[in-house]
Amino acid sequence: MQTSKNWFEVSKDGLKRWQTGKPLWYAIRELIQNAWDEPIENCIIETAWEGGVCKATVEDDSPIGFRKLSDAYTLFDDTQKRKDPGKRGIHNCGEKQALALCTKGKIETVKGTISFDRKGRHVSYQKKRQKGTKVHLEFKMKKSEYHQMLDMLNLFMIPKDIAVILNGEPLEYVEPLKVISQVRLQTVFERDEQLVKTQRNTDINVHEPFKDAWIYEIGIPVMQIDCKYSIDIQQRIPMGINRDTISPAFLKDVFAEVLNVTFEDIEKEEASESWVRDGFSDERATKEATKNIFHKRFGDKVVTATPTDPLSMDRAILHGHNVVHGSEMSKEEWDKTRQHGLVKSSHEVFGFGVAESEPVEPNDNMKAFEKLVKKIGRMKFGYEPTVEFVKSTGVAGEYGNGHLLVNVGRLGKRFFSPPLSAETLRFILHELPHEKGLHTEVSYQTEKEWMGAELIMKALSDPGFFDLEG
């Protein structure tokens, strides 16, 4: 019987295949991340490409170096970083993933040196550094992939307290556009030998993107995002083992926090972008931010559609309002809109009987005007519309179901003196064609044209039609 104290073995080829499809710059990213998690002052990165092979080194000056040489080849071993959500790493497998992609590798640190080649792993406890760690990688890479790697290395957000040199050139620290302080976000860390998720206060740095927008974990690019800004979270982000995917719920919280401090800088044409809509619908979005974005997206003159009252929607359009329909926003966006009372419905603003009104006793001129309405209605529709005079803060007139509501409070009694005038005819020609449709419908416009033409012909053929005294 053969016995081994280890329950498991790891296949390098299997681990390599697991990385299939990942950009090769991820290998360098893991090494830089490990270096930046240490108490260092300097980080030197050297890369070169020749004949389809990339050679890269990452060197730091940590006084501790690798705490255990076995960390270089032991997956998921214990690591002090797990207990600190201010560190980037947690799984203790990043350098193993990097080495799996390589044809050669070497790690020099204060505990000794480990080299990896076709023959296997070679450990020397005599070859030591005085301080820091230097990792050498060599792997096959296309020239296009090499240039992509260099482009990505230039996207890193350099820590303020670390001097980073890439191929002899210092990478500069960039001040964020805005710093959002003490934001409570989800993170993960080890407690009582278990990984737990918790909410913790941290800062969010908002940056102008170098090229495309990314979300960062304490300066390390994690995932490209559809956003106006690059966003650097100053604590560990909950992610899977590949550390390249962030949950949509986490992103929505982050987008809302960013939107709360940038909404004034969002242009009208940007107000419908997906990240803005995600942030808008999140519970963290403030009333001030949502109100600003809503009106940038839909305008200042806006109502929501009331399908059961199509005439109110029609009148809203006539008065220059944008009518927002249900399909134009998600359920979460509508919930946020209602929560903050950002807009009224078309029925509330333009619906029949919305404004409180009181009846007005018509004078002689108003009675003559009513007679004119009835005569025109009988001529056109074959029946006499009913006419009601009221005093209201609502619209000047409403016509529907054979009933004309005339708002004397808006028109004034002088409007009816004389009862037959260009003004009163214009009013009638505007309201009575609603018998055939709404303002925005062709049938309404057609009826309006025909009514005007027929009234002209009536005046020519039967002038007595307009005698309102009898």
Burial of 94 (0-12, 13-18, 19+ CB in 10 A): buried
- Let me know: does 245 contact 223? Beta carbons within 8 Å: yes
Compute the distance between CA of residue 253 and CA of residue 259 in angstroms, rounded to an integer.
Answer: 10
Cβ 77 vs Cβ 90: under 8 Å: no
Q: What is the DSSP string of 216-277?
A: EETTEEEEE-SSSSEEEESSPPP--TTS----HHHHHHHHHHHHHHHGGG--GGGTTSHHHH
Say yes or no: do domains 12-171 and 357-466 share a fold. Answer: no
Domain boundaries, the chain: 12-171, 178-269, 279-350, 357-466
Neighbours of 373 (CB within 10 A): 22
Contact between 127 and 112 (Cβ < 8 Å): yes
Q: Is 76 left (phi over 0), alpha (psi -120 to 50) or beta?
A: left
Question: What gap in Å lies between CA 221 and CA 287, rounded to an integer?
Answer: 31
For 274-308, how does the pLDDT look when each residue is reduced to its tens digit (9 = 90+)?
999 999 999 999 999 999 999 999 999 999 999 88
Q: pTM (2 decimals)? A: 0.76
How many other β-carbons are positioned within 10 Å of the β-carbon of residue 155?
18
E-assigned strands of 77-177? 104-109, 112-117, 120-124, 134-140, 163-166, 169-171
The span from the CA of 398 to the CA of 394, in Å, is 10
Contact 112, 126 (CB under 8 A): yes
Fold of 357-466: Zincin-like (3.30.2010)
HSE value, Cβ hemisphere, 13 Å, CA-based, for 323: 21
- What is the number of other CB atoms lying within 10 angstroms of the CB of residue 6? 7
Top-level CATH class of 12-171?
A: alpha beta
CA-wise closest residue to 101 among 150, 159, 149, 66: 149
8-state DSSP, 318: H
In tens digits, what is the pLDDT along the chain, a chain of 470 residues? Answer: 545 555 555 555 555 555 565 677 777 888 898 889 888 999 999 999 999 999 999 999 988 876 666 565 444 444 566 666 667 765 555 566 667 777 888 888 888 888 888 888 888 888 888 888 899 989 888 999 999 999 999 999 999 999 999 999 999 999 999 999 999 998 877 666 666 688 899 999 999 998 899 999 999 999 999 999 999 999 988 877 666 689 999 999 999 999 999 999 999 999 999 999 999 999 999 999 999 999 999 999 999 999 888 888 888 988 899 999 999 999 999 999 999 999 999 988 887 655 567 899 999 999 999 999 999 999 999 999 999 999 988 778 888 888 999 999 999 999 999 999 999 999 999 999 988 887 888 898 999 999 999 999 988 999 889 988 86
